[in-house]
Amino acid sequence: MPTAPLALIAELTHRCPLRCVYCSNPLELRARSEELSTETWVRAFEEAAQLGTLHVHLTGGEPLARSDLTPLVLAARSAGLYTNLITSGIGLNEKRLSSLVEAGLDHIQLSFQDAEESSANTIAGCSAHAQKVAVARLISETRLAFTVNLVVHRRNLDRLEEIISFAERLRPHRIEIAHVQYYGWALRNREALLPTLDQVQESVAVVERAKERLKGIKIDFVTPDYYAAFPKPCMGGWARLLMVVDPSGKALPCHAAGVIPGLKFENVKEKSLRWIWEESSSFRRFRGEDWMPEPCRTCERRTQDFGGCRCQAFLVTGDAAATDPVCSLSPHRHLIEAVLERINLSPLAGDIGSSAEPGAGNVKALDTDLALRQRWAYRTNPAGVWERPEL
Ligand code: SF4
Ligand code: SF4
The 10s digit of each residue's pLDDT in 231-258 is 999 999 999 999 999 999 999 999 999 9
> What is the reported pLDDT for 2?
77
Q: Which atom of ligand 1 is nearest to the CA of 124?
A: 2
- Is the N-terminal amide bond of 63 cis, ω within 30° of 0? no
Full DSSP string of 149-173 = EEEE-TTTGGGHHHHHHHHHHT--S
Answer yes or no: is the C-beta of 214 below 6 A from any ligand 2 atom: no
> What is the reported pLDDT for 345?
81
Answer yes or no: is the C-beta of 266 below 6 A from any ligand 1 atom: no
> What is the reported pLDDT for 294?
96
β pairing state of 242-245 and 251-252: antiparallel
Ligand 1 centroid vs 60 CA: distance in angstroms? 8
Q: Which atom of ligand 2 is nearest to the CA of 231?
A: 7
Full DSSP string of 25-37 = S-SSPPPGGGPPP
Answer yes or no: is the C-beta of 149 below 6 A from any ligand 1 atom: no
Ligand 1 centroid vs 85 CA: distance in angstroms? 13
Neighbouring residues of 122: CB distance < 8 A, sequence distance ≥ 6: 368, 369, 372, 373, 376
Answer yes or no: is the C-beta of 20 below 6 A from any ligand 1 atom: yes
Average pLDDT for residues 286-302, to the nearest whole number? Answer: 96
- The protein residue whose alpha carbon is closest to atom 1 in ligand 2 is 296
Full DSSP string of 177-195 = EEEPP-SHHHHHTHHHHPP
Closest CA to 24 of 135, 200, 190, 267: 190
Answer yes or no: is the C-beta of 18 below 6 A from any ligand 1 atom: yes
Answer yes or no: is the C-beta of 61 below 6 A from any ligand 1 atom: yes
Cα separation, 19 vs 23, whole angstroms: 7
Sorting pLDDT into bands at 50, 70 and 90, what band is 373?
Answer: low
